């Protein structure tokens, strides 16, 4: 009976056909417009915006010819050692003397010019023919100068091109204090370097393990931008850079600028 009474009461009421039906309140319209504007802005940015792309690689400061190892051609006892680490040697200079079992004296001569990095023997020790006695960083290339060599995984090196801008963090000159060293890519090796090639370039397996942390590395050579106004002679992101010059055989981390990419290409995988 209660439901019937309500139905009869409803039939006695007018239809109220002139009443305005409110589909959405003003706040709802404002929220909808804000969402549409944000979506439209995101679409425009995805189509026209640019995202910078960078590649980080580690390596070292060195010279164009890298590091070479000097082997002796003689077996015998080292009777004289003429060089120590950090000393300069020139091509044709006698670096050590070996006395064989017959008492004959042999002079071991450096075939290249450079800086001695390490000495693998000492006076009084016995060496055999073919043994490494010195490791020398060569400085006898035409137009020799300091540069950075970094090692990039082969699957990432395809995006690196000569002329790409590079920012270099030098281990001996902390970036938070002195800024980053400016540079540009000079060359990219066409193929990954073998372990033997790395050992030859860096002066042995131990040095290679210290500076190369990736597998199948390709060599990227970077020239630093010169700036006569700084103490180091190179351009830095800071005004003056470090107070002294740069040293070779120092670890670096390079951030290579690969240009920019539209966000929509990254989403679509182009």
User: Could you report the per-residue pLDDT of 123-147, keeping only the tens digit for each?
Assistant: 999 999 999 999 999 999 898 999 9
pTM for the structure as a whole: 0.73
pLDDT of residue 261: 61
Give the residue range(s) of CATH 2.40.30.170 domains in the chain.
Answer: 53-64+145-260
Give the model's pLDDT for residue 137: 92
Determine the topology of domain 67-138 in CATH. OB fold (Dihydrolipoamide Acetyltransferase, E2P) (2.40.50)
d(CA 173, CA 193): 29
| List of residues 6+ apart from 91 with CB closer than 8 A | 110, 111, 112, 113, 140
- Tokens 């549409």, residue located: 36
Q: What is the DSSP string of 84-141?
A: -TT-EE-TT-EEEEEE-TTS-EEEEE-SS-EEEEEE---TT-EE-TT-EEEEEEE--S
Using CA atoms, how far apart are residues 134 and 116, in angstroms rounded to an integer? 7
pLDDT of residue 79: 94
- In the chain, residues under CATH classification 2.40.50.100 are 67-138
What is the per-residue pLDDT for 10? 60
Scan for tokens 């091109």, then name that residue: 161
Quick one: pLDDT at residue 15?
A: 56
Residue 214 is predicted with a pLDDT of: 83
Query: Given this model, what pLDDT does residue 196 score?
Result: 86
Instruction: Return the CATH fold of 53-64+145-260.
Output: Elongation Factor Tu (Ef-tu); domain 3 (2.40.30)
Q: How far apart are CA 246 and CA 230, in angstroms?
A: 11
Low-confidence residues of the chain, pLDDT below 50? none
The Cα–Cα gap between 127 and 99 comes to 10
- CB-neighbour burial class of residue 102 (10 A; exposed 0-12, middle 13-18, buried 19+): exposed
What kind and span of H or E run contains 27?
helix 26-48
């Amino acid at each position: 009976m209660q439901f019937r009474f309500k139905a009869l009461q409803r039939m006695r009421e007018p239809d109220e056909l002139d009443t305005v039906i409110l589909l959405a309140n003003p706040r709802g319209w404002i929220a909808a417009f804000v969402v549409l504007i944000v979506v439209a802005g995101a679409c425009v940015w995805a189509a026209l915006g640019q995202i910078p792309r960078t590649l980080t690689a580690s390596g070292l400061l060195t010279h164009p010819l890298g590091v070479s190892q000097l082997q002796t051609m003689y077996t015998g006892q080292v009777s004289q050692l003429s060089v120590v680490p950090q000393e300069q040697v020139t091509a044709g200079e006698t670096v050590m003397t070996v006395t064989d079992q017959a008492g004959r004296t042999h002079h071991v001569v450096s075939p290249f010019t450079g800086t001695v990095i390490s000495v693998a023997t000492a006076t009084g020790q016995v060496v055999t023919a073919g043994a490494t006695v010195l490791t020398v960083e060569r400085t006898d290339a035409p137009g020799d100068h300091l540069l950075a060599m970094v090692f990039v995984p082969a699957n990432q090196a395809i995006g690196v091109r000569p002329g790409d801008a590079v920012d270099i963090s030098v281990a001996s000159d902390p970036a938070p204090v002195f800024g980053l060293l400016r540079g540009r890519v000079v060359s990219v090796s066409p193929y990954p370097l073998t372990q033997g090639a790395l050992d030859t370039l860096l002066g042995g397996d131990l040095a290679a393990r210290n500076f190369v942390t990736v597998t199948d590395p390709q060599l990227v050579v970077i020239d630093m931008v010169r700036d006569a106004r700084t103490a180091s002679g190179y351009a830095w992101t800071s005004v003056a850079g470090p107070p002294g010059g740069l040293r070779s055989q120092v670890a670096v981390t390079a951030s290579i600028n690969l240009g920019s990419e539209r966000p929509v290409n990254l989403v679509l995988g182009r």
